[in-house]
């Protein structure tokens, strides 16, 4: 990964983008994509569509969601403490003692998530996981009036955890679910811009996946793609505590390349195209299976309008939905290259019928 690519990844991770509040990240992507795209099209839902080779065929949509899990301010008490609700799916025990950034109209402000100290808890409560509704955020306010000068009801917040570089080309930070996928879609679009594809390519950065793949639903309806590749993250099973999960999620290792899904929700022809391209170009991949609908943007893509030939690529990820998710630079680059090489092989008149 070169310095330009790393700088973009660093800025993407730093930009807060909880579901419904993705604008800071979308501004970065729109600005960067303007350098190579034919068009950069935002929509009313908040999605961003980076278009290459308009008028080409087939019409292909690459999709990765830009939203991350977060919290939202629901109440300010008389002492100036904030009550919060979840945005997306949290393990509540992860939140205790975390620092946060509250995203306000005047800019981000710091805060911490408070909890009653263990010393004064009843013995029976010490082994219980606190519910989110029992936690609070302390922004240092003197009282409610002071807090309301800084924060408004509905202001979102994210855990304050930016990109950290680890040995062996690995990165740690919050929101790699799914900024890892968004980075690969951006990089695939940049590569495709120099490959003169026959296809009309829509690299779409979607919103609100963490609350039901809402952005992908509206984007696919408007774009009407013939084929699509959704990119998300999947559980790496190469760390302690995952031996049982491996039997369900598959054997997925960090640095082993993107996971290519086979299963009920995946178009067989699209899977074949990805697998054959990976073999021909020497791109490492890991095959996983899913016999049901997937909890990703691939679901609404597949059933948009009269149906879309849809594939799913997943970046291996450790410690999902925590502030210290870990990914591999090799997997990010391999995922982007596999997408670009596969789409570059598409020709006008190609059929994706599952015959």
**273-322 residue pLDDT tens:** 999 999 999 999 999 999 998 999 999 999 999 999 999 999 999 999 99
Q: Which residue has the tokens 């391999």?
A: 334
**6-31 residue pLDDT tens:** 999 999 999 999 999 999 999 999 99
Question: Is 22 annotated as catalytic?
Answer: no
Ordered by where they begin, the domains of the chain are: 3-68+174-344 (3.40.630.10), 70-159 (2.40.30.40)
**50-94 residue pLDDT tens:** 999 999 999 999 999 999 999 999 999 999 999 999 999 999 889
pLDDT of residue 12: 97
Name the catalytic one among 22, 187, 209, 325. Answer: 209
Q: What are phi and psi for residue 317, nearest 5 degrees?
A: -140, 135
**144-163 residue pLDDT tens:** 999 999 999 999 999 999 99
Q: How far apart are CA 113 and CA 138, in angstroms?
A: 6
User: Helix, strand, or coil here: 35?
Assistant: coil
Strand 227-235 to strand 59-65: parallel, antiparallel, or no bridges (unpaired)?
parallel
Q: How far apart are CA 192 and CA 56, in angstroms?
A: 13
Nearest to 67 by CA among 25, 8, 5: 25
Residue 312 pairs in a beta bridge with 230
**263-276 residue pLDDT tens:** 999 999 999 999 99
User: Helix, strand, or coil here: 351?
Assistant: coil
Contacts of 115 (CB under 8 A, 6+ apart): 96, 97, 130, 134, 135
Report the predicted TM-score, pTM, of the whole model to 2 decimal places. 0.95
**Contact criterion met (CB below 8 Å) for 26 and 20:** no
- Across 243-276, b (16+ Cβ under 10 Å) vs e yields eeeeeebbebebbbbbbbbbbebbbebbbebbbe
């Amino acid at each position: 990964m070169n310095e330009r690519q790393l700088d973009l990844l660093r800025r993407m991770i730093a930009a807060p983008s909880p579901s419904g509040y993705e604008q800071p990240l979308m501004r970065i992507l729109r600005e960067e994509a303007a350098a190579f795209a034919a068009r950069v099209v935002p929509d009313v839902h908040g999605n961003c569509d980076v278009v290459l080779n308009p008028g080409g065929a087939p019409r292909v949509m690459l999709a990765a969601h830009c939203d991350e899990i977060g919290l939202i301010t629901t109440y300010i008490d008389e002492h100036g403490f904030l009550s919060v609700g979840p945005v997306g799916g949290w393990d509540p025990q992860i939140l205790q003692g975390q620092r946060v950034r509250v995203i306000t109209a005047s800019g981000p402000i710091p805060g911490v998530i408070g909890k009653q100290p263990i010393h004064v808890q009843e013995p029976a409560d010490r082994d219980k996981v606190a519910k989110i509704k029992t936690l609070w955020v302390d922004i240092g306010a003197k009282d409610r009036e002071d807090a309301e000068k800084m924060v408004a009801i509905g202001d979102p917040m994210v855990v304050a955890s930016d990109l950290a570089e680890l040995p062996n080309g690995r990165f740690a930070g919050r929101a790699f679910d799914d900024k890892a996928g968004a980075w690969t879609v951006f990089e695939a679009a940049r590569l495709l811009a120099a490959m003169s594809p026959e296809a009309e390519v829509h690299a779409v950065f979607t919103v609100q996946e963490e609350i039901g793949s809402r952005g992908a639903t509206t984007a696919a309806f408007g774009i009407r793609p013939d084929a699509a590749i959704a990119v998300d993250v999947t559980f790496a099973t190469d760390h302690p505590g995952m031996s049982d999960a491996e039997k369900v999620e598959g054997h997925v290792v960090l640095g082993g390349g993107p996971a290519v899904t086979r299963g009920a929700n995946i178009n067989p022809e699209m899977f074949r195209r990805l697998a054959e391209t990976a073999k021909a170009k020497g791109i490492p991949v890991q095959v996983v299976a899913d016999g049901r609908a997937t909890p990703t943007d691939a679901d609404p893509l597949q059933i948009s309008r009269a149906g879309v030939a849809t594939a799913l690529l997943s970046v291996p990820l450790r410690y999902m939905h925590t502030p210290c998710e870990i990914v591999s630079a090799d997997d990010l680059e391999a995922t982007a290259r596999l997408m670009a090489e596969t789409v570059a092989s598409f020709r006008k008149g190609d059929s994706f019928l599952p015959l």
